Amino acid sequence: MLYYLCYPGADVAPAVQDELADIFVMLADSMYVIPNIVEHNVIWSEHEKDPFRDGLFTTKDYAINFLTPPYLRSHPSLKAYAQANGVYISS
Residue 2 has pLDDT above 80, yes or no: no
Find the mean pLDDT for residues 45-49: 85
Q: What is the SS3 assignment for 87?
A: coil
Global pTM reads 0.78
Which residues have CB under 8 Å from 57's CB, separation 6+?
A: 51, 65
**The total number of residues written for the chain in this structure:** 91
Q: Report the chain's terminal Cα–Cα distance, integer Å.
A: 25
pLDDT computed for residue 7 by the predictor = 66
Find the mean pLDDT for residues 23-33: 90
Residue of 81, 83, 71 lying closest to 17 (CA atoms): 71
Q: Residue 40 is which amino acid?
A: H
pLDDT band at 23 (very low <50, low <70, confident <90, very high): very high
Which of the two residues, 18 and 13, has the higher pLDDT score?
18
C-alpha angle with apex 62: 57 to 68, nearest 5 degrees? 155
